[in-house]
Structure 1
Amino acid sequence: MEGLSYLFLLLGVFSIQGSSENLEENLALKGTAVQSTTYYSCGAAKAIDGIRYAPGTAHTYCSITSYELSPWWRLDLLDYYYIYKVTITNRADCCLEQTTGVEIRIGNSLENNGNNNPRCAVVTSPVPAGSTVSFSCGGMEGRYVNMYTPNIRMHLTLCEVQVYETGNF
């Protein structure tokens, strides 16, 4: 009987561990994305398609805006969340500077296309080729997650954006 209790205890631990791994869900996969402009066929949805690695040409895997002043990309999570982490994956082939200066903004307003929402973080240096970087947002409330480069003329490239919550409202 003692061995059977130990087995159930052991199975319970594995069950709890297995289920906790599923608690961290990428909310971006359930949302919709738009961007200020689109370079060729590099639409906003490519940054939330679940493909983190962008081998070869970015046109196939990444969202890219046209070369413009203050480009932006916006994710609508379709609900309100407390967001604790946002990750960005850069392209693997070139143009690493196309993420530098990006402000991550989170909130519930669509004023100025959502770019006036509170700022979570700023990408201050180029994200290494093909790498993913995470930014802690400390539980900021919001439905919209924006990537915005104010007063910079550039292409904004995002190969994958992931968003994680602390809990639903």
Structure 2
Amino acid sequence: MMKYVGVWMMTLCVVRLNGTFSNVAFQKPATMSSVFDANTIPSRGVDGNTYLCTVTNYGDMEPWWMVDLHGYFHIHDVIITNYDYLNWWRYLHSFTIDVFTENPIGCARATPVQCYNRTDTLGPSETVQFKCRSPVIGRFVRVKKWKMVDPYDPLTLCEVQVLGTKATAPTFKDSTTITSSWDYYGVDLC
């Protein structure tokens, strides 16, 4: 005899617009400045499931979340889905979407190019498509809050989709004059 046990729901968000852009962030490695608990880990932001979300910890006064696209892409748009749990949706406000060619964690020369700056709050479960001012080439996409109401104002993201097309890796003209971190750390952080 078969018995109904339950349903596990997942929403897969891989987007194609006119057959040219795709979600290049889906299931790519993500990290964040802090983690609220074991259920709000960074990978929740790129898992295709809008019901499980990332949340930074209370007291993190410079919260951010970042995805490594594992390649260089022309980034045209970033789609963000907000939380809808109690009043937690109100925490997604005052943030920038920045794009880097180099990992800003451990690479002092990594310089962001701002894709978008949002000042007001996204609504509960609201999904917004942010268009970069112009296509930006990059590998790392970071969402960072720039205004905190108080220490109990975490960064919350339920899904981040990065729409782009493959690009060639940028070249750095001054790479011969900058000392590599490989000699110091045993790994090249840039």
Which of 107, 119, 122 aligns to 2:100? It is 107
1:18-167 matches, cutoff 5 A: 22-41=19-38, 42-52=40-50, 54=51, 61-67=52-58, 68-93=60-85, 94-111=87-104, 116-137=111-132, 138-150=134-146, 152=148, 153=151, 154-167=153-166
More helix by share: 1
Instruction: Return the offset for 1:107.
Output: 1.5
Conserved in 2, the CA contact under 8 Å of 1:30 and 1:77? no
2:119 alignment partner, SS class = coil
2:26 alignment partner, SS class = helix
1:105 alignment partner, SS class = strand
- TM-score after normalising by structure 1: 0.76
Looking at structure 1, the residues matched to 17 and 67 of structure 2 have their Cα atoms a distance apart, in angstroms, of 26
Structure 2 counterpart of 1:141, one-letter code: I
Conserved in 1, the CA contact under 8 Å of 2:97 and 2:144? yes
Instruction: Tell me the alpha carbon deviations over residues 31-90 of structure 1, each in whole angstroms, 9 at most, x when there is no partner.
Output: 2100011001110000100013x2xxxxxx001110211111010000000100001100
1:69 alignment partner, SS class = coil
- Of the structure 1 ranges 104-113 and 75-84, higher mean CA displacement relative to structure 2 is found in 104-113
**Matching residue of 2:3:** none
- Of the structure 1 ranges 95-104 and 155-164, higher mean CA displacement relative to structure 2 is found in 95-104
Instruction: Tell me the alpha carbon deviations over residues 121-159 of structure 1, each in whole angstroms, 9 at most, x when there is no partner.
Output: 122111110110011112101000001113534311100
Structure 1 counterpart of 2:64, one-letter code: W
Instruction: Return the offset for 1:95.
Output: 2.1
- Of the structure 1 ranges 147-156 and 67-76, higher mean CA displacement relative to structure 2 is found in 147-156
Instruction: Return the offset for 1:20.
Output: 7.4
Instruction: Return the offset for 1:99.
Output: 1.4
- TM-score after normalising by structure 2: 0.68
Q: Can you give the 5+ residue segments of structure 1 that lack an aligned partner in the other structure?
A: 1-18, 55-60
Q: Using a 3 Å threshold, how does the CA distance of structure 1 residues 62 and 113 change in structure 2: closer, same or farther?
A: farther
Identity of aligned residues (%): 27
